[in-house]
Homo-oligomer: A and B are copies of this chain.
């Protein structure tokens, strides 16, 4: 007798949970049994929240961030600086940068990063819409906030080339030693970049 025979309902639920990234069969079983211990309303609220997200989500027609209307709350906010556009890979980076509280401009979500190994080319990303947006709106600065990886650098260089004929400043977020890191443990490439990108000392 295997587990399948003992309960199809449980098996279906475990397989559904185990299809999530990073969730194995054992964790999925633990989560399914947790749901059985909670009341029915818990699972109903849980399922409703996920279905609502997936069915009702829209993408902002300007920056491709997720939203509930035609335009996301950031693009619709009249207090944001519309002359600066920060280019990010995904929604997750929008949330991360918003949480810093250090940026008051707008975003442009590419929806991925150039990765020939995974079959992601320029056509899969929102690069053309960025170029049109920069030309159409009065964008003064495009900040590239992409991962400090080979793919991130490639994507950044590609966007830089695409924007080269437009009168816009293309900048890139600073790379250097992470706050709280000890120099001793910083890797050589990061440390080398931190030295060549040094800035004038200011009293905090």
Interface residues of A, dominant DSSP: helix
Shortest A102–chain B CB gap in Å is 12
Are A55 and B40 in contact, CB atoms less than 8 angstroms apart?
yes
- A15 contacts partner chain B, Cβ-Cβ < 8 Å: yes
Bound-complex Cα distance A100 to B82 (A): 63
A81-120 contact mask (Cβ, 8 Å, vs B): 1 or 0: 0000000001110110011000000000000000000000
Number of chain A residues whose Cβ lies closer than 8 Å to a Cβ of chain B: 59
Does A8 lie within 8 Å of B91, measured CB to CB?
no
Q: Quick one: copies of this chain in the complex? A: 2
User: Which of B44, B53, B77, B99 touches A36 (beta carbons < 8 Å)?
Assistant: B53
**Cα of A31 to Cα of B49 in the assembled complex, Å:** 13
Interface bits A5-20 vs B (CB < 8 Å: 1, else 0): 1111110110111011
Q: Is the CB of B9 within 8 A of A32?
A: no
Q: Does A52 contact B (CB under 8 A)?
A: yes
* Chain A 49-86 interface 0/1 with B at a Cβ cutoff of 8 Å (1 = within): 11111111100000001111000111001000000000
The interface-forming segment of A22-30, A126-134, A182-190 is A22-30
Cβ of A3 < 8 Å from any Cβ of B? yes
Q: Quick check: B66 and A36 within 8 Å, CB to CB? A: yes
- Once the chains bind, are A44 and B51 in contact (CB under 8 Å)? yes
Q: Is the CB of A22 within 8 A of B27?
A: yes
With a cutoff of 8 Å between Cβ atoms, the chain B residues found around residue A12 in the complex are 49, 52-53
Which B residues are in CB contact (< 8 Å) with A32?
A: 50, 53
Distance of A43 from chain B, by nearest CB (Å): 4
- Given the known A-B contacts A20-B34, A21-B30, A54-B40, are A13 and B91 also in contact in the complex, defined by CB atoms under 8 Å? no
Task: List, sorted by A's number, 8 A–B pairs whose CB atoms are closer than 8 Å.
Answer: A3-B99, A5-B73, A6-B66, A9-B53, A16-B49, A19-B46, A29-B95, A43-B53
Excluding A1-B73, A43-B54, 14 further A-B contacts by CB distance (< 8 Å) are A1-B74, A2-B98, A2-B99, A3-B95, A6-B74, A6-B98, A7-B68, A9-B56, A9-B57, A9-B68, A10-B57, A10-B66, A40-B54, A47-B51
